[in-house]
Structure 1
Amino acid sequence: MIALKELDKNSDEFFRRVSSTSTKKAPETPSSEPLPTQNEDPNNAEGDSAISFASMSRIEWVTLILLSVITFADTVENSCISPFFPTEAEKKGMSSSEIGVIMGARQLIILIFSPVMGRFMANIGTKRMFIAGISIVGCTTITLGFMPHWPAGRPFFIIAIAVNIIEALGDTANSTASLAILAERFPGRLATLMGLFETIGGLGGMIGPLLGGFLLEKGGFELPFLLMGSIILGGAIISYWLISEVKDTGVDENKGMKAMMKLPMMWVMVYAMITSAVLLSFLDPTLGPHIQSMDISPTAMGAIFLLSSLAYTVTAPIWGYAIDKFKCTTHFIFAGSICVVPAMLLLGPSPILPLSKSIISITIGISILGVSMGAVHIPIFQQCLLTVKKYGFPDNAQTYGGVSGIYSAAVAFGGFLGPTLGGVSVDYIGFPWTTTMLSALIVIFIITLFLSYAAVGVHNRKIKRRQVVRPEPV
């Protein structure tokens, strides 16, 4: 870790030189000025005190509470429909493949439109995009409550797919703008709040099916969706009055998403985003069949599923606080990735290990995975922001929108690949070899990250040797 920290220093000059070969007007930092380290934010001079929530203003608290409530309600709505939608769709004559298409359209829309939302956020306005997004989500959530009254057959399929697509567009606008608002309003607390919102989303995902079932029993199919939709719409109305616009200095075509993707380190982070999302989503359709053959009770199976979510949800804010406190995003990503490898190997367990499948190995593996994934996933967005800012990208809505769009698209792509290709891989080569392959992907990332900074260290040492002042001849 000490060696990595040394390689971390002064890395910007190396990557700036590499990227300048493909970027016509790459922003430069004068050589006379000290370069920030890879984990320092040049636009945040608040120091360790930035982590303290006691110093937050009233409007910051209101913004944080609003985003938390909207995130929770949106996650509850997304998770509470999962147990009931397939049953309701079957009543309307839908086949399993049609149900899969309806539910899978969401990630595809988020993948396609996240970069679009990020690209045009500065033109539309972050606040307007956020309010429009949650308004769409609120309206479509209420619409889902009337699903039992939709006509059966082909009309049901068309209506369901249309509502899902529209809701996904709203969610894309909401999530992309929310990330930009967090980055602009809370620069010194970004990782802490990313961890907090991961916890809020995790709690919503766990509570959603239970709360949805309770409300459905008490008030029918409509009640959970009417309630959650009304809360989200109420948040949109309040946000109009209480959330201010993210500062903007106009749009510079030379500092948009295309320019960001010409930075080598951004590609390393995109690989990390996709891989972490694959790991977080891969187990949903595959872990159940893997442990069913062990003849355990449904309660024990449910506990194993809950363990992974619980480990991630509980430790996410702790990781976020530690990242903000010690300002070392890259080190946490590196250390977390190392811990993920044995976790995935134990889940199989991998054929390369002298272990047989057991509840103990699966429980240990899934616990380590849940804890370590927080260290990998949470700091990535912040690391992307730090990277682009060090190349001269301004601290404005265009930069926040671009990074948010890239982040959301990569996470959606990983969330799409995890269940689909992961399921196909399990069918062909089995669960143990699939987890081994996923471990190999993480090893590739670790090596890439380390070699990137090793190259930086070698390059900077050469530069320093060339800059040694030689004595003039007498």
Structure 2
Amino acid sequence: MEDNLSTENTIEVPVKEKKTFSTLPKDEWILLIILVASNALCPMSFSSIATFYLAVGTKKGLTISEVGVIFGIFNLLSFFLSPFIGKLITIFGVKKIFYNGVFIIAFGTLAFSLTNLIDNHYGFLAATLTLRLIQSGGSALALTTSFTIISNQFPDLMSSMLGWIEVGSGSGAALGPFLGGIIYEFNGGSYPLPFLIFGSILAIIGVLSVFYIKDFEQKCEEEEMNIEQLTLTKMMKIKDIWFVLITVFSVGVIFYFNSSSLPIAIQSFKLMPSQIGIFYLIVFFCYSVTAPLFGYLIDRYPISNILLVMGNIMFIFYLVIIGPASFLPFKSNLYSTTIALIFLAISGSSLFIPSYSNQKSIVINENGFPDNIRTNGIISAAFTSVFSLGSFIGSVAGTFSVDLIGYRATTSIFLCIESVYFILFIALFIIPRYLKRNYKKHNQIQPAIVKNQSKVAFYTEEA
């Protein structure tokens, strides 16, 4: 009797084969290439000014603080815009949001090539500020949508794909200053050329994305009408989400502080723009090697928290050496700067890559929200938003502080803040989750079967 009941009321759910890189079809490889290329060209288009904008801007009367605003304003609009993009994705679909974002940043980059024709101090400041905002809006649309695409299209390879996306993003941010410096030096200081080259390539990527980016099918509302849907407010009420987002925020702060202030930190070395670009290249190389490696490992082994702890420790080492901290018995030099930047790159990838999968796991696996495009859109939007806020504060507040109290004192302040956060992170995030996991292991019950009208649910008692 029980066997008959079990047969009648239980349905077999087909096991979906997990995707691997070897099983990806051609169209998904093209999609991945477009995502990596766009995530490289977007930051490349705005980071390309890092090695020469300070020199050009000061000739037109800009202060170091005003230059910092130009670097940081890019991320400020992304912070305000990103939370709305999650909603826009559910209305217009990922395809329209993505390719329109790429076209917008291409337009802003191409138009930036004309700003050198403005000699007036405030005119030059206003023009470059406006175009940075346009670039920012396009970048927020494209990059936020990228996270949503990989989350929906490659759920089994999410961290690995994010690693490759970050290779693109990291290469753009690092190669931008290097290539921008080389192109600028071409023909004795060609200001428009970097923007014309990068803007044109972005326009081509935008055209390709029209044909190769596809929208995801939305589940019928009737299927999910009884399921609680995620909202930004509900997500922010989850305690552990705050630690994940603060971690992403700190990566944005330190990385963009380094991006905008590194030329100031090494100006005593009297280097050419292309030589300064080599330091950015060091960050790119180390980040590009470790990001996909960490993504690969996270998809196969439960090491996310180990990487988060390691990343915070290496962040502290970076801040101690790059200053250098007052208790170190040496002054900044080429060797110490190189070592510090290696620590920065590895710490950035070990913090950024596991944070997205952690955020999604906390929302979906631990709090029971549905794994759909709405949920992934909100997760991606929050992730991008806090990173953009950190990037803005790192660029603007960092350079303002350098202008006011000097580079070494500024890095000491960041060092104190990061050290305090690391202690709180261990005490309030890592240790409680470790204890909770061990409690579940020792108090785990056997899975029980709950039958309800030919649906079978397996559950384990939560701690």
User: Normalised by the size of structure 1, how large is the TM-score?
Assistant: 0.76
Asked whether 1:357 is paired with 2:330, we answer: yes
The equivalences for 1:170-209 within 5 A come to 170-209=138-177
* In 1, Cα distance between equivalents of 2:179 and 2:45: 10
Give the secondary-structure state (helix, strand or coil) at the position aligned to 1:109: helix
Residues 268 and 452 from structure 1, CA distance in 2 versus in 1: closer, same or farther, beyond 3 angstroms? farther
Asked whether 1:386 is paired with 2:361, we answer: yes
Residue in 2 aligned with 1:456? 436
* In 1, Cα distance between equivalents of 2:307 and 2:131: 39
Residue in 1 aligned with 2:35? 67
Asked whether 1:260 is paired with 2:235, we answer: yes
1:407 to 379, 383, 398: 383
Residues 250 and 154 from structure 1, CA distance in 2 versus in 1: closer, same or farther, beyond 3 angstroms? farther
Q: Is the 8 A contact 1:345 1:439 kept in 2?
A: no
Deviation at 1:287, TM superposition (A): 5.4
2:196 is aligned with what amino acid? L
The equivalences for 1:105-144 within 5 A come to 105-144=73-112
Identity %: 26
1:238 to 188, 208, 222: 208
Q: Is the 8 A contact 2:51 2:277 kept in 1?
A: no
Where in structure 2 are there 5+ consecutive unaligned residues? 1-14, 448-463
Deviation at 1:234, TM superposition (A): 2.0
Deviation at 1:176, TM superposition (A): 0.7
Residue in 2 aligned with 1:229? 199
* In 1, Cα distance between equivalents of 2:279 and 2:52: 22
The equivalences for 1:301-316 within 5 A come to 306-316=281-291
Deviation at 1:285, TM superposition (A): 4.9
* In 1, Cα distance between equivalents of 2:338 and 2:191: 36
Deviation at 1:327, TM superposition (A): 4.5
Give the secondary-structure state (helix, strand or coil) at the position aligned to 1:165: helix
Residues 102 and 289 from structure 1, CA distance in 2 versus in 1: closer, same or farther, beyond 3 angstroms? closer
Q: Which moved more, 1:57-66 or 1:300-309?
A: 300-309
Where in structure 1 are there 5+ consecutive unaligned residues? 1-43, 468-474
Deviations 1:189-232 (A, max 9, x none): 22222222222233333333443455453695444323322222
Residue in 2 aligned with 1:27? none
Residue in 2 aligned with 1:322? 297
Aligned length: 417
* In 2, Cα distance between equivalents of 1:304 and 1:395: 41
* In 1, Cα distance between equivalents of 2:284 and 2:179: 17
Q: Is the 8 A contact 2:257 2:394 kept in 1?
A: yes
2:256 to 281, 300, 316: 281
1:456 is aligned with what amino acid? K
Deviations 1:166-198 (A, max 9, x none): 221111111111111111111222222222222
1:320 is aligned with what amino acid? G
Residues 258 and 250 from structure 1, CA distance in 2 versus in 1: closer, same or farther, beyond 3 angstroms? farther
2:49 to 81, 91, 96: 81
2:218 is aligned with what amino acid? D
User: Normalised by the size of structure 2, how large is the TM-score?
Assistant: 0.78
* In 2, Cα distance between equivalents of 1:394 and 1:238: 32
Residues 111 and 456 from structure 1, CA distance in 2 versus in 1: closer, same or farther, beyond 3 angstroms? same
Deviations 1:272-330 (A, max 9, x none): 111222232333455565566xx756489776665444322322221121112325423
Residues 361 and 68 from structure 1, CA distance in 2 versus in 1: closer, same or farther, beyond 3 angstroms? closer
The equivalences for 1:156-175 within 5 A come to 156-175=124-143
Deviation at 1:270, TM superposition (A): 1.0
Q: Is the 8 A contact 1:257 1:402 kept in 2?
A: yes
Residues 460 and 163 from structure 1, CA distance in 2 versus in 1: closer, same or farther, beyond 3 angstroms? same
2:216 is aligned with what amino acid? V
Q: Which moved more, 1:240-249 or 1:326-335?
A: 326-335
Residue in 2 aligned with 1:249? 219
* In 1, Cα distance between equivalents of 2:65 and 2:398: 17
1:247 is aligned with what amino acid? E
Give the secondary-structure state (helix, strand or coil) at the position aligned to 2:91: helix
Deviation at 1:403, TM superposition (A): 0.7
Q: Is the 8 A contact 2:325 2:412 kept in 1?
A: yes
Deviation at 1:109, TM superposition (A): 0.6
Q: Is the 8 A contact 1:105 1:161 kept in 2?
A: yes
Q: Is the 8 A contact 1:198 1:316 kept in 2?
A: yes
Residues 387 and 162 from structure 1, CA distance in 2 versus in 1: closer, same or farther, beyond 3 angstroms? same
1:441 to 402, 421, 440: 421
Deviations 1:213-271 (A, max 9, x none): 55453695444323322222222222222211023237888422222212222112112
* In 2, Cα distance between equivalents of 1:158 and 1:432: 33
The equivalences for 1:413-432 within 5 A come to 413-423=389-399, 427=405, 429=409, 431-432=411-412
Deviation at 1:464, TM superposition (A): 6.4
Residue in 1 aligned with 2:373? 397
Deviation at 1:55, TM superposition (A): 0.9
Deviation at 1:92, TM superposition (A): 5.6
